Amino acid sequence: MGKALIFNRMLAIGVGLIGGSICLAAKKKGLVSHVLGYSRKLETAHEALKLGIVDECIAGPGDANLRNVDAVVLSIPVRQYKQVLTQFLPVLPPNCLIFDAGSTKSDVAVMLNELEPQFPGLKSRFVLAHPIAGGESHGPSAAVANLFEGRNCVLCPLEQTSVVGLKKVEAFWTGIGAKLSTMNAMDHDEMFGAVSHLPHLLAFSYVASVLAHPKGADFMKEGGAGYRDFTRIAASSPEMWADIFQNNSAALLNMLGAFEANIASLRQAIESDDRPALERILGQAADYRSQWKQN
């Protein structure tokens, strides 16, 4: 066991792009000695095993090998957390640390509040995390060990989160190359509603609206580099993003309202040939965006 070791036996629930990449990175960096993998679909867990992402597959909560697990990482749609935790928590060691990689955080805090009476202490040993990484590819075959290198990971500790648990999860994410930031779950959801969820909603909606045009599919074949980049995120998983839109609906719809108001101003400026208004709105955006640099 190397000195980098953080967890002995880590259970990965979800072994797709995110979960699989977490496992590959943790193994490569020597942060874990043994990785167990679970997926709703057994063939996905088997694929992860074949790809060397996990060392062992778990068929379900009945598996005896779960007894010595000291960490669990959830990389599944947030809507599935509650059901999965309800199944697995009764058989996991009571001091086992749990962390996640979901894109929304307030809803996870609410879910933990709901489960806390049934599983006392759950909130102290659950660390909310959101690595800012991903892509349009899905499944274990898309996983890579360097997915989190140099990428941000936002931690949203609750008041009850154990300091020791938080330090371990911080060391874990840092160990696989992520840069950490910390904020509360509400701020997180407002920020990512604005800079991630809304752009995804707009990109999906733009492609769907052009597709609905009789010649829309033919039009899009002629799209250039602008079209390509603007719509790249519209190839993302519909199931995952439907979850995110539903789970962060308050912050998302609030930002969407501001966008709709801005679009109405632009429409008005174009319809009334109001060149100063048009240049003012476009100029603000261009000034900001041309100076923006990725963190």
Q: In the range 257-286, which residues lie near its own copies by CB under 8 A?
A: 258-263, 266-267, 270-271, 273, 275, 278-279, 281-286
Contacts (CB under 8 A) with its own copies, residues 135-164: 135-136, 151-152
Q: Say whether residue 215 binds its own copies (CB under 8 A).
A: yes
Asked whether position 233 contacts its own copies by CB under 8 A, the answer is: yes
Supply the minimum distance, in Å, between the C-beta of residue 14 and its own copies: 19
For its own copies, the binding residues in 43-82 under the rule CB under 8 A are: none
In the complex, the smallest distance separating the C-beta of residue 134 from its own copies, rounded to whole angstroms, is: 8
Among 52, 96, 47, 104, which residue's Cα sits nearest to residue 76? 104
Q: Least distance to its own copies from the beta carbon of 61, Å?
A: 26
Q: Is 208 in the site for its own copies (CB under 8 A)?
A: yes
Q: Which two tokens mark 211?
A: 């597709």
Cβ at position 173, least distance to its own copies in Å: 15
Comparing CB distances to its own copies, the nearer of 67 and 232 is 232
Would you say 252 and 201 are in contact if contact means Cβ atoms under 8 Å apart? yes
**Residue located via tokens 């033919």:** 218
Q: How far is the CB of 23 from its own copies (least distance, A)?
A: 22
Interface stretch with its own copies, choices 30-38, 89-97, 120-128, 133-141 (CB under 8 A): 133-141
For 15, 48, 135, the CA distances from 43, given in Å and listed in that order, are: 11, 9, 22
DSSP string, 141-172: GG--TTTTTT-EEEE---TT--HHHHHHHHHH
CB of 278 to its own copies, least distance (A): 5
Instruction: Report the alpha-carbon distance of residue 93 to residue 71 in Å, rounded.
Output: 9
Span near its own copies by CB under 8 A; candidates 62-70, 85-93, 164-172, 188-196 = 188-196
As a whole number of angstroms, the distance between CA 85 and CA 119 comes to 10
146 φψ region: left (φ > 0), alpha (ψ -120 to 50), beta (else): alpha
